[in-house]
């Protein structure tokens, strides 16, 4: 089902070059690629980002649109524990798009580390703003 709606299958136990190529292909086509910036489903506070998001953004030149999903873990559903309950409140707040790179075109480890720090700052600021807007 998930692959049918466009989810890319990723082998999380190794560097999955097929998934990386697929993700870059999505971006090259001008489509949307959704990524958990922490490299997995984290706490949602962006405390420790992995370099994957920076890699895709810097390599492709695609902008990043921050999305905060608030309330998805407040309570668990009775039927499916991984999902919020029916009629539960979940707020989705989209931020302004931004570029991850510094404009130099560099794709070195240092450039990716610097981009990751920039991304972390932007995502953290967006999350704080989303919490202020929604009261969560």
Mean pLDDT of 85-93: 83
Q: pLDDT value at position 71?
A: 84
The pTM is what? 0.81
Residue 47 has pLDDT above 90, yes or no: no
Q: pLDDT value at position 90?
A: 87
Reading the block at residue 95, the tokens are: 């931020």
Residue 74 has pLDDT above 70, yes or no: no
Q: pLDDT value at position 36?
A: 82
Higher-confidence residue: 99 or 79? Answer: 99
Mean pLDDT of 35-42: 72
User: Could you tell me how many helices (H) and strands (E) the chain has, helices first?
Assistant: 3, 2
Residue 12 has pLDDT above 80, yes or no: no
Torsion angle of the four alpha carbons 74, 80, 81, 84, in this order, in degrees rounded to the nearest 10: -10
R_g of the chain computed on alpha carbons: 16
Residue 39 has pLDDT above 90, yes or no: no
Q: How far apart are CA 55 and CA 122, in angstroms?
A: 16
Higher-confidence residue: 36 or 95? Answer: 95
In eight-state DSSP terms, residue 117 is H
Q: How far apart are CA 22 and CA 4, in angstroms?
A: 14
The number of angstroms, rounded, from the C-alpha of 136 to the middle of its chain's C-alpha atoms is 20
Between vectors from CA 37 to CA 21 and to CA 18, what angle results, nearest 5°?
Answer: 15
Residue found by looking up tokens 């931004």 in the block: 98
Q: Mean pLDDT over all residues of the chain?
A: 85
Higher-confidence residue: 6 or 116? Answer: 116
Question: Using 50, 70 and 90 to split pLDDT, how confident is the model at 58?
Answer: very high
Q: pLDDT value at position 2?
A: 64
């Amino acid at each position: 089902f998930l692959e049918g709606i466009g989810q890319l299958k990723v082998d999380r136990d190794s560097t999955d070059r097929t998934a990386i190529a697929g993700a870059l292909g999505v971006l090259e086509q001008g489509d949307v690629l959704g990524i958990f910036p922490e490299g997995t489903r984290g706490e949602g506070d962006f405390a420790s980002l992995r370099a994957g998001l920076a890699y895709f953004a810097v390599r492709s030149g695609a902008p990043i649109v921050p999305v905060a999903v608030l309330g998805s873990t407040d309570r668990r559903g009775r039927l499916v524990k991984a999902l919020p309950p029916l009629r539960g409140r979940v707020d989705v707040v989209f931020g302004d798009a931004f570029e991850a790179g510094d404009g130099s075109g560099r794709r070195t480890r240092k450039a990716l580390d610097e981009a990751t720090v920039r991304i972390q700052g932007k995502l953290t600021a967006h999350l704080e703003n989303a919490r202020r807007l929604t009261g969560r």
